[in-house]
Chains A and B, each alone.
Chain A
Amino acid sequence: MLGWGASRLEADMDRLLALLLHQGVLDGQFLELRQLQDESAPNFVSEVVCIYLRESDKHLRSLRTLLSDAETTDYKKIGVHLNQFMGSSSSIGAKRVRNVCLIFRTASEQSNRTGCLRSLEVLEYEYCYLENKLHELFHMEQQKVLASAVRYPLLLG
């Protein structure tokens, strides 16, 4: 019953995905991303998410650095980072992260340092949550692939 593992994993994935969608962590754009994945790009979603996580780490670090010094805070630069962060987040469907970015950007436009710091905290939290969930999702997917990969030799044998 090795095939059973794969289908169970798939069901788990679907459940997790539904939860994330329900929570508003992800939105339909993520599903669209999954539809883009095909035989020409079998790992498309995970590749994109990898890139996204890597870039987002950079953005968060930059934002943290930019806000570290109260006097020399360059709100314009913050805005640029946020715009990009927002763009990539919305592109993969990270809805909540994007929304926090929006609030963050508003605060940065008003040169509201307190608001920025608070937004950054929320952003980091949201991002962290998203990252964990995405990792969880991809872990399941890997398991599923493994499980289904295991099945073929058995069937052949």
Chain B
Amino acid sequence: MMMATVQRFPMFSSLSTTTNSYVPREVEEPSRDQFPAGLRVLVVDDDMTCLKILEQMLQKCSYHVTICCQAKIALAILRERKGGFDLVISDVHMPDMDGFKLLEVVGLEMDLPVIMMSADGRTSAVMKGIKHGACDYLIKPVRMEELKNIWQHVLRKKFNECKEVEQSGSVEDNDHQRRMTDDGEYASSANDGNDGGWKSHKKKRDAKDDEDNSELENDDPSTSKKPRVVWSVELHQQFVVAVSHLGIEKAVPKKILELMNVPGLTRENVASHLQKFRLYLKRVNGMAQHQGGISASFCGAVEPNTKIPPQALAALQAELLGRPAGNLVMPTMDQPILLPASIQNSTCIPAGCGVAFGQPIMKCQSNVSKQFSQPNVSSENVSSGFPSWSSNQLNVMVSPANLSIQNNMLVQMLQQQQPPSMSSESGHAINVQPSCLVVPSQSSNNTPAVNSPLSVHQNASYNSNGVFDYSSVTSQSNIMPLAGGQITDCNVGLLNGYLVPGAVPSSVTSCSVSTGSSTVWQPQNSSLYVNSSARLPGQVPNMSESYEAKAGISTEEMHMRNLGFVGKGTSIPSRFAVEDIGTLVDESSYDKTSVINGGDRVKQELNLDFMESAKVGIPVLQHYSSSDFMGVLSK
């Protein structure tokens, strides 16, 4: 019979793949697309009976089957042959490793669809499987009919990925939300101001069950994972200290947990974090090796005692600095259209923060701007105003000397020479990438009215460094006087979906509005303001899921790193922790950086030099996505 329908895969020579010897007795109609045939499936089950039956059944479906009776071996196989499988079917109960654990690791590392199966068909068990991210849950006995259909999960996954890439131009809420959820474990954001629509994500650390439930809200089951712990700066640093004490290679979750000695933290939490941490280091390392020359300059600032390869540290450092994209990827950027400006303030970065993870990507787009509800500015104006922004970049970096706040916001503006259509295409977005947002201990009552601790008014004095008493500002509730500033505020809040701890308001310049935008913004008011503790009045309910609202966050203690790129496609597919800020900058204005030093000063700098070196173009963004180095943790 028709041997032709049996696909032979050249890859796994040593593995016991059975397809080769398999001659299908009944061949599916030849007109059918060949896709499901040859699907590479790995079956993991410690029950030999089921394994055998499944193998035979899957072969009957013309799949390419690999069987394995131990989860750990399965994991080794998967790691060894990344990309060698399309789908994993795993039993839930296995002696050497829990099926859920396998599911998580596979989801994390390989991003493969995983189907769980068990004889236990109770709702609670199925629920658990789905919550852990299984794309399907089969109840034994597994039937042929079910197996014939499993290819759809592969297709769905691929489809979703495609969609994600396509969405680079416009990030939809769903996607956004999902990413935030994905990255939620690292979100130590204490101060998310958006509680508007988000009720479920508070007090996460102690309420796992609640969290589980809230996770169900997530549409995409494959991305939802087990209960999350919010890895605050402190927590993460404890973790890093523990890991470095043990040595990155020898660190095991149990020992780390003992060293950390944090109540409520479970071994699984630590294990998961360690997993990601290692993965992150690995990827960052690989990335850094690629870009070795560039990243070398950052090595010095990194904590010496952690046993982490220098390149990895360098990359981490770079990420902390908020310029990973700019620095590392810069050589590949060649788009003249967008000029990124980043602030170089390496001295301000604390060594301890070097290991902090980047925050999930938040993307803001101009089309989101219509949601702005600021009274001062009509929404139409705002939205129309964005495309018209001038090409100058604005960087605002807020970094208190004690390193609590560090915002690099890279703002790119479209050049005015750009045709309007172009500008509209590129969503100006504000991306805030706070590495560590959470400052748990402090209680600052943030009322929506309190906007930013720091407000920088730039009138004519762009060049001058404005020094502000930071602490005093913090205590005060500064409401942005300017419409522009408020708009910015709204942008951040809306786009990010959570309260932007350090919101860098971009200065709006008089000239910026020039192209056909009837913006209300006033040039005098070009207000860059950093709103670290303030809750943004306009909040997007959907987005802030992963952020935990902690009661007290003071601006001083926040460690934040905000990096904003305004790229053409604001959504960077690979979960970059890069955010785009669209701001109005007048043509004459240069890049401005406002830096809060020592918690009491705001300094504005011009970053022209950086602009020249770093040109962020659209292709670069795509490049990022593929290399993905920033987004390692965000998975």
Residue ranges of A at the interface with B (Cβ–Cβ < 8 Å): 29, 32-33, 36, 38-41, 44, 47-48, 51-52, 55, 80, 83-84, 86-88, 90-93, 98
Contact flag A51-B56 (CB < 8 Å), given A32-B143, A40-B25, A80-B93 = no
Residues from chain A with a CB closer than 8 A to the CB of B144 are: 32
Residue of A nearest to B139 (CB): A90
Taking CB atoms, residues of chain A closer than 8 Å to B23 are 39-40
Chain A interface mostly: helix
Let me know if B380 is at the binding interface, CB within 8 A.
no
- The contact sample of 13 A-B pairs, CB cut-off 8 A, is A32-B143, A32-B144, A40-B23, A40-B59, A41-B56, A44-B56, A48-B53, A52-B49, A88-B50, A90-B119, A90-B141, A91-B141, A92-B53
Least CB distance from A22 to B in Å reads 19
Chain A residue, CB-CB nearest to B54: A91
Interchain CB contact under 8 A, A92 and B49: yes
Asked, given contacts A39-B25, A40-B59, A84-B93, whether A51 binds B48 with beta carbons under 8 Å apart, the answer is: yes
The residue on A at minimum CB distance from B18 is: A40
Given contacts A36-B56, A40-B21, contact A91 B93 (CB under 8 A): no
B183-206 residues with Cβ-Cβ distance < 8 A to A are: none
A86 — nearest CB in chain B belongs to which residue?
B119
Q: Is B159 interfacial (CB 8 A cutoff)?
A: no
Residue of A nearest to B144 (CB): A32
Chain B 136-178: CB-based contact to A (< 8 A → 1; otherwise 0) = 0000111110000000000000000000000000000000000
Give the docked Cα–Cα distance between A114 and B323 (Å): 67
User: Chain B, 36-68, contact with A by CB distance < 8 Å: what is the 0/1 string?
Assistant: 000000000011111011001101100000000
Q: Which of B48-91 contact A (CB under 8 A)?
A: 48-50, 52-53, 56-57, 59-60, 91
Contact partner, B25, options A38, A86, A88, Cβ 8 Å: A38
Check B49 against A83 for contact (C-beta < 8 Å). Answer: no
CA distance A48 to B55 in the complex (A): 11
Say yes or no for B388: interface residue by CB 8 A criterion.
no
B392 at the A/B interface (Cβ < 8 Å)? no
How many residues belonging to B are interface residues under a CB distance threshold of 8 Å?
Answer: 25
CB contact under 8 A between A91 and B56, given known A48-B49, A83-B93, A84-B93: no
B52 touches A51 (CB 8 A): yes
Which B residues are CB-close (under 8 A) to A44?
Answer: 56
Tell me if B9 is interfacial: C-beta within 8 Å of chain A. Answer: no
Check if A84 sits within 8 Å of B141, measured CB to CB: no
With A32-B143, A40-B21, A40-B22 known as contacts, the answer to whether A55 contacts B53 (CB < 8 A) is no
Q: How many Å from the CB of A47 to the closest CB on chain B? A: 7
Q: Which residues of chain B are near A86, meaning CB under 8 Å?
A: 119-120, 140
Chain B residues with CB below 8 A from A33, complex form:
53
**Does B118 belong to the interface (CB within 8 Å)?**
yes
Q: Are B143 and A87 in contact (CB under 8 A)?
A: no
B48 contact set on A, CB distance < 8 A? 51, 55
Q: Which of B46, B118, B140, B144 has the most CB of A within 10 A?
A: B140
Q: CB distance A29 to B93 under 8 Å?
A: no
Cβ-defined partner of B47 (8 Å) among A32, A47, A84, A98: A84
Residues of B within 8 A of A39 (CB): 23, 25
Query: What residues of chain B lie closer than 8 Å to A51, measured between beta carbons?
Result: 48-49, 52
Q: A55-B48, A88-B47 are in contact. Are A83 and B118 (CB under 8 A)?
A: yes
For the complex formed, measure the closest distance between the CB of A2 and the CB atoms of chain B, giving whole angstroms. 28
Q: Which residues of B contact A88 (CB under 8 A)?
A: 47, 49-50
Are B120 and A83 touching (Cβ within 8 A)? yes
Cross-chain contact B53 with A36 (CB below 8 angstroms): yes
A39 to B91, CA, bound (A): 28
Contacts of B49 in A (CB 8 A): 48, 51-52, 55, 88, 91-92
What's the least CB distance linking B471 to chain A, in Å?
Answer: 55
Docked complex Cα distance between A39 and B53 (Å): 15
| Bound-complex Cα distance A36 to B52 (A) | 11
Which residues of A are found within 8 Å of B142, using beta-carbon distances?
91
Q: Are B53 and A91 in contact (CB under 8 A)?
A: yes
Q: Which residue of A lies closest to B22 (CB)?
A: A40
B586 nearest CB across to chain A (Å) = 69
Listed residue (B47, B119, B143, B144) with the most chain A CB atoms within 10 angstroms of its CB: B119
Chain A residues near B50 (CB-CB < 8 A): 87-88, 91
A88 to B142, CA, bound (A): 10
Tell me, rounded to whole Å, the shortest Cβ–Cβ distance linking A99 to chain B. 12
Q: Looking at B22, B93, B141, which has the most chain A CB atoms within 10 Å of its CB?
A: B141
Given the complex, which residues of B lie within 8 Å of A90, measured CB to CB?
119, 140-141
Could you say which residues of chain A place their CB within 8 Å of the CB of B59? 40
Q: Tell me the bound Cα distance from A47 to B56 in angstroms.
A: 12
Provide the bound-state CA to CA distance between A44 and B54, in Å.
Answer: 12
Mark interface residues in B104-142 (1 if CB within 8 Å of A CB, else 0).
000000000000001110000000000000000000111
**Interface pair A29/B141, CB less than 8 Å apart:** yes
A51 to B56, CA, bound (A): 14
State the CA gap A84–B50 with chains docked (Å).
10
A32 to B404, CA, bound (A): 65
Question: Which 9 residue pairs spanning A and B have beta carbons closest together?
Answer: A87-B119, A88-B49, A86-B119, A90-B141, A87-B140, A52-B49, A38-B25, A91-B141, A29-B141
Closest-CB distance, A11 to chain B (whole angstroms): 24
CB pair A84 B56 closer than 8 Å: no
For the complex formed, measure the closest distance between the CB of B149 and the CB atoms of chain A, giving whole angstroms: 16
Q: Nearest Cβ distance between residue B67 and chain A, in whole angstroms?
A: 12
**Complex contacts, B57 vs chain A, CB 8 Å:** 36
Cα-based distance from A48 to B54 in the complex (angstroms):
11
| Complex-state Cα separation, A91 to B47, whole angstroms | 10
Contacts of B93 in A (CB 8 A): 80, 83-84
Chain B residues lying within 8 Å of A36, measured Cβ to Cβ, are: 53, 56-57, 60
Separation of A40 and B57 alpha carbons in the complex (Å): 12
Q: Determine the distance from Cα of A141 to Cα of B178 in the docked complex, in whole angstroms.
A: 56
